[in-house]
Amino acid sequence: MPRANKGTAAWKKGHIAARIGRFTHALDPATRAWSVVLTGNIARLALGLVASILIARDLGPATYGVFAVLGAVAAIGGVVADVGLTDTAVKRIASRWPADVSGACQRGQVFFWLRLGILAPVVLTACLVIAFVGTAMPLPSGFRLLLPLTFLGVAATALSSTISALLQATGHFRRFAVVMLTNAALSMALAVALHLLGRLTIITALVILGSGTALAAFAVGVRLLPEGITLSFPSVRAFRVEARQLLRFGRWLWGSNVLAMLAAQLDLFLVSHWSAPTAVGAYALALNLASKVNVVNHSLFTVLLPSAAGLRGRRALRHYLRRSLVRSGLIGIALLPLFPLSGPVITLFYGPTYTPAAQLFRLLLGVVIFDLVVTPLLLLPYHYDRPEVLAVADALRVIALALIGVWLIPIVGPAGAVAARLGAGVAGAALLLALLARHQETDGDAPFDAAARQGPERSSDPR
């Protein structure tokens, strides 16, 4: 009888395992990859949340607002120094991997060294400008002294993101997640140590938790590069040809990404201009927490970018849209419990001084869900090879955010910034889809790519 029970239990376990296996197999590759990236991001956020709580508590709302503004400056500086290369490189490397490993490797090498060659002078110029003409800037003296440290963090983060892009382009999402977790785990451990030592200040947060952990993640990422991908310098001819291709497509993405980052950070600058320091700190915390929830959207972007760039034919496009919209809708429903839970959680972990952030977070959560639904649609310019459409739509987002923010923030405070974010997102998405619909009517479904019309990179490719 015990043997029968054991046999029945084993049969049940095997049956359950088989069902799980069939369910996992039924998921499309993008969903499986997204689940890997999302799991890594959730683990990263769980670790990073400890550091976030300690920083917010130790700095206080007023100083935390300054720290958040410096973070916004770093985010914009990172996009400026990227010049649109990262997303372009993912698109180009993914189109070769894994069918042509040597070709993908060469494209990755050119991307790495071109990114490094542009990053160094941009960061150095920013530091020199701050050093020599910083006194003429309308900035508080303490804020001005912290800017060079912020741009050093930009350089370290750029190195880490470059390696992550190579892992993303080659489909190694588990290794991609390991790089993220390395940064988060170190940040948590060092934040706890600095807190216990009483040394968690805005300077140590910028230098140790910002630059130091990013450099460690870069070192780990280099060790995790897949076989066939190296960082050695390519031939001069290959560098020249591929750099031209990267910059041709990337210049539009550069403008688009800079505008998108301005749209993501401009509201914080506007709030800091019209609101009290404590209100700025509360909005900065709400924005920070909303960005952590937005990790589901970032994970989708990470996984769907190679997929959207590689779509072929109208049937594949319809399948992509159907799968993406269903996936986004289900994820949005899963986020709904955060609305009632946000108030007690923020008060418990961050303290009563941050209570005003709870309502702002709920409003921002609605914006996150909207972005989640439209993100798969916003990746379609990669399919049609129309980066200029992204630039135009993001320009409208910045204009709409500025106009609505300047109108509402002086009247209703930080809540006006949330309304500006939502209005800007709706305006940008509507214009982008309208431009893509017009392009499809004139050029058809096939991606508009000069290289595709001429054949596979004939004489221009050194291979």
Where along the chain do its domains lie?
28-449
Band (364; pLDDT cuts 50, 70, 90): very high
pTM of the entire predicted model: 0.70
pLDDT at 309: 66
Angle at 372 between CA 254 and CA 218, to 5 degrees: 50
**Rounded Cα distance, 309 and 384, in Å:** 8
> d(Cα 106, Cα 231) in Å, to the nearest integer?
9
Q: How far apart are the C-alpha atoms of 383 and 445, rounded to whole Å?
A: 9
Report the alpha-carbon distance of residue 85 to residue 179 in Å, rounded. 20
Which comes out higher in pLDDT, residue 85 or 17?
85
Query: What span, in angstroms and rounded, lies between the C-alpha atoms of 270 and 407?
Result: 11
Q: How confident is the model at residue 84 (pLDDT cuts 50, 70, 90)?
A: confident
The rounded distance, in Å, linking the Cα atoms of 210 and 48 is 12
Instruction: Please report which confidence band the pLDDT of residue 191 belongs to, taking 50, 70 and 90 as the band edges.
Output: very high
pLDDT at 13: 44
Which H or E element spans position 252? helix 236-274
Closest C-alpha to 272, from 418, 62, 421: 62
453 pLDDT band (50/70/90 cuts)? very low
Ranking 27-36, 78-87, 195-204 by mean pLDDT, the lowest is 27-36
How far apart (Å, rounded) are the C-alpha atoms in residues 222 and 110?
A: 16
The CA angle 459-114-210, to the nearest 5 degrees, is 155
Q: Is 170 helix (H, G, I), strand (E, B) or coil?
A: coil
Answer for the pair 279, 359: CB distance below 8 angstroms, yes or no. no
CA separation for the pair 260, 87 (Å, rounded): 14
Q: Where are the beta strands (DSSP E) in 269-357?
A: none
**Residue 179 pLDDT > 70, yes or no?**
yes
The answer to whether 169 and 90 are in contact (CB under 8 A) is yes
Mean per-residue pLDDT over the chain, rounded: 81
Q: How confident is the model at residue 28 (pLDDT cuts 50, 70, 90)?
A: low
pLDDT reported for residue 403 = 94
Judged against a pLDDT cut of 60, whether residue 19 lies above it is answered with no
Share of the chain above pLDDT 70, in %: 81
